[in-house]
Structure 1
Amino acid sequence: MKRYAYYLSCINESMTKEVDRSIDLWQKDLGIELVKLHESTCCGGSNLDYVSPKHFALVNARNIAYAEKMGLDLVVSCNTCLMTIRTAKKKLDESPELKQEVNELLKKEGLEYHGTSEVRHLLWVLIDDVGLETIRQKVKVPLKDYRIAPFYGCHILRPSSVLGKDNPLDPSSLDLLIEALGGETIPYEHKNRCCGFHTLLVAEQESLNVAGEALEEALRLKADFIVTPCPLCHTVLDGYQAKALKQAGIKSSIPVFHLSEMVGLALGYNAKQLGIKRHIVS
């Protein structure tokens, strides 16, 4: 059993609880254990770094330090948490002065940031540690009847200097996982585009235009559903889908699944167990 420290992201603790619910069902089926870090705090999204760089470094050094205390890598299931925490780690590892300053503060909690734990996305763990061949062998209900549009989201791809797993222009990891689960991927041009989440509250029309374009392409290519490894992308593509398609003049809909739900379906769990009924789009 491979063990990881699992970062509890704000979005999954509040709006998209079905992500962690579904992971809890199947993690041991694939030989992994995600130990929840209840001591962790919000990563600051993509905003705290601009407001207070030192608080940004401190908060995320603390999150990583808890994983290091357990001797485990830190695994996340939110793209923005991934980008944010990895950005903080890069800054800490490249600045001995910042690292020393942060560690002086962490001493108060009996913590120290070393930089030894990697920060990884659940998708990467499935590809690199569990392995596609093992996943194929574990599939109980192949997704062979489904045409699936993979939507990666920005923050698992860019900036590549911080992330570096996939080619941001032509990512493949999610496609490979879909195929291992028996599904058919479609040549989906929007798979590496932005969902619009981070501009939703300040420029709703522009944000919904972006989401509407992604939804329109999936519908036009007759995808059965969209799958994303990011709960923020899911929030826009599912929760704001009706508004985005109405704005685009499209009278239709398409289900949007979380990565963890898609894996769960292929491993034999049903929609009720996985929490799929929490979605806005049926």
Structure 2
Amino acid sequence: MTMNFAYYIGCAAQQTQKEADWAAEAVCEELGIKLHRMKKATCCGAVSLRETKPAFALAVAARIFVEAEEMGMDIATICNTCLQTLSQANHRLKNDDELLDSINEVLKKSGVAPYKGTVKIKHLAWVMVDDVEADVLKSKIKKPLNGLRVAPFYGCHSLRPAEIFEAEAGEKAKHLETLIELMGGNPVRFDGRDKCCGFHVMLSDAKEMRQMVFNNTTSAKEAGADVMITPCTLCDMAMGSYQGIAEKSVGKKVGLPEMNFAQLLGCAMGLDEKRLGLNRLHVSPRPQLVARGVL
């Protein structure tokens, strides 16, 4: 049975983290999930717009929801920050009729249809676990991970505040561990699992951001991880792209391969590594994957 989602790709996956988008499309094609790109969607506004112009941020989010309603689909995304931003707006609009009415008045002035409050916001990792039958997903695993030790780095924006999300979050979150086990890997429990990646202080406090990256990757490496996966393009950028910069800043080597969860899932499905963008990763996971017979 084909599942259809309005695909809210986010800014990072369209620019710096294109491999996460490629991998998402590839694994969804294997699973019969159709990601329909939202042609009119804007940037979610993230934390900055939400804090400085809250009413405007809600209107921006509502406009995105209206597009999904017009498509007749729920929204799926691969960015934790987009997930949190849109989920928080959706939670407020669905639980405050007066607020919804006032935001719809703003939309009306812009020639946009009113938001009816019918859309759900999901992370693609949730779709894989909650909406795809485990037996179906397991049947697509052609190259099991054979015990590969995988550190699931959730980041913070897909976990907190738990009450705004459409799936289990907070301390109960286990989507990544479930996927790792279905792929034949061993989830590694480590201290940085639910910490912030540091992306959002990259410009305001570069030194602190690099220390956060170093602490999280070191925590996973010392716990025995072969690779780390994240569900977020911004976490990918921080933990992968900035890992080398963090090493130089702290003066110690980590060398932990980091990849998007969809990339590792694609590897386990036996998909072409170039299609998954493995060549774009800053610390290659090829040695670890070859050693386990995945590549």
TM-score, length basis structure 2: 0.91
* Structure 1 counterpart of 2:137: 135
Residue 164 of structure 2 aligns to a residue in which SS? coil
8 Å CA contact 1:123–1:174 kept in 2: the answer is yes
Structure 2 match to 1:89: 90
Is this contact kept in 2: 1:170–1:192, CA < 8 A? no
Q: How does 1:215-226 map to 2 (within 5 A)?
A: 215-226=217-228
Residue of structure 1 equivalent to 2:8: 7
> After the TM superposition, which residues 93-104 of structure 1 pair with which residues of structure 2 at under 5 Å, given as runs?
93-104=94-105
Match of 1:255 among 246, 257, 263: 257
- Report what 1:48 is aligned to: 49
| Structure 1: runs of 5+ lacking an equivalent | none
Query: In the alignment, which residue of structure 2 is the partner of 1:161?
Result: 163
Give the Cα–Cα distance (whole angstroms) in 1 for the partners of residues 112 and 197 of structure 2: 40
Question: Partner of 1:235 in structure 2?
Answer: 237
Superposed CA offset, 1:165-205 (max 9, x none): 33523531110111101111112221111111111110111
Tell me the CA shift for residue 20 of structure 1: 1.3
State yes or no: 1:244 paired with 2:246.
yes
**Runs of 4+ residues deviating >4 angstroms:** none
In 1, distance between residues paired with 2:15 and 2:101? 34
Which of 114, 117, 141 aligns to 2:116? It is 114
Give 1:122 shift: 0.5
Is the deviation greater in 27-36 or in 148-157? 27-36
User: CA shift at 1:266, angstroms?
Assistant: 1.0
- 2:217/2:254 contact within 8 Å kept: no
Shifted more, 43-52 versus 99-108: the winner is 99-108
Using the alignment, how far apart are the partners of 1:270 and 1:102 within structure 2?
45
Q: 1:130: how far off?
A: 0.7
Deviations 1:110-144 (A, max 9, x none): 42201101011101111111132221111111111
**Does the 8 A contact of 1:6 with 1:76 survive in 2?**
yes
Deviation at 1:145, TM superposition (A): 4.4
Number of aligned positions between the proteins: 282
Task: Kindly indicate whether the alpha-carbon contact (under 8 Å) linking 1:157 and 1:165 is maintained by their aligned counterparts in 2.
Answer: no
Residue identity over aligned pairs, in percent, reads 36
How far off is 1:215 after superposition? 0.9
- Name 2:29's counterpart in structure 1: 28
SS in 1 for 2:170: coil
Which SS does the other structure have where 2:192 is aligned?
Answer: helix
Q: State the match for 1:188 in structure 2.
A: 190
| 1:26 positional shift | 2.4
State TM-score, norm by structure 1.
0.95
Q: Which runs of 5+ in 2 are unaligned?
A: 285-295
Q: Which moved more, 1:35-44 or 1:163-172?
A: 163-172
Kept in 2: contact 1:171–1:192 (CA 8 A): no
Q: Determine if contact 1:5/1:34 at 8 Å carries over to the other structure.
A: yes
Offset, 1:87: 0.7
1:126 aligns with 2:128: yes
Is the 8 Å Cα contact of residues 63 and 112 (structure 2) preserved in structure 1?
Answer: no
